[in-house]
A = this chain, B = another copy of it.
């Protein structure tokens, strides 16, 4: 790993924890313990399960319970039984709590403005751009791609989202029933593989590998959630599948794609896939690719 890159990251980490972190922690408490302030922020407009809060903030359940009671005593939140599971509690902001949150929002804006004050217009633009880039790449770096059963809840949700996107983007719509090229069990281990990309626990992408011959496999269902685009998720999914294919002893990888999916087209080219002649009768395919491993 490049020494100068490590040094740059360390410098950045220190600057940012000391400058931004210190400001955030001092500014945003509004005379209230920081943990409570963070909680108000995290609860948001729609309410959350206590369970979710606990894992998101990484707090001890006893500690969190007390924080929640304290906010309730202040009239800032309400507690209700959570949906299906009678053990769960759902917290949501009261009117007063929302007002408090709005006040934090304003403070947060003021803080951001104070970081821009001394800069001129050109520098502000550059700062915003560079921050956007850092943000995107840090998030990209914390995406985890791992094998998952293709019929798990998250996997199904990804595939459904993928299919409805295809239905919206393909000229003649899309009907899974007409595309029998990859059923769930085709992509199940050991003859295939299905992977999910997760960002902070949420599924944000997927992809599958299906064995089609002794040394041939096919890539299917590569998809990225709209919220995670531009972060290289699809590329990582593709590379993970490719590595698995190598491990399975495959020598050739194939895939097909529709002309409407221009990003996919570009990705496959960039990753070394070359366009070949039609190799299947998928009614939705316009282009066929192959890569020798």
Contacts and interface: CB of A to CB of B under 8 A. Distances in A.
A191 interface: no
Of all A-B residue pairs in the complex, the 6 with the closest CB atoms, nearest first, are: A130-B133, A9-B112, A12-B131, A21-B21, A127-B137, A5-B128
B9 A115 contact: yes
A16 interface: yes
Interface in A109-161: 109, 111-113, 115-120, 123-128, 130-135, 137-144
A17 B25 contact: yes
- Provide the main secondary structure of the chain A interface: helix
7 contacts: A6-B112, A9-B116, A13-B108, A16-B135, A118-B141, A126-B137, A127-B137
A19 interface: yes
Chain A, interface size category, equals 35 or more
A10 interface: yes
Query: What number of copies of this chain does the assembly contain?
Result: 2
A15 B138 contact: yes
Nearest to A143: B118
Interface of A: 1-2, 4-6, 8-17, 19-21, 24-25, 108-109, 111-113, 115-120, 123-128, 130-135, 137-144, 232, 235-236
Nearest to A130: B133
Given A25-B17, A123-B232, A117 B141 contact: yes
Contacts of A137: 119, 123, 126-127, 130
A3 to B, nearest CB: 9
A161 to B, nearest CB: 23
B8 A132 contact: yes
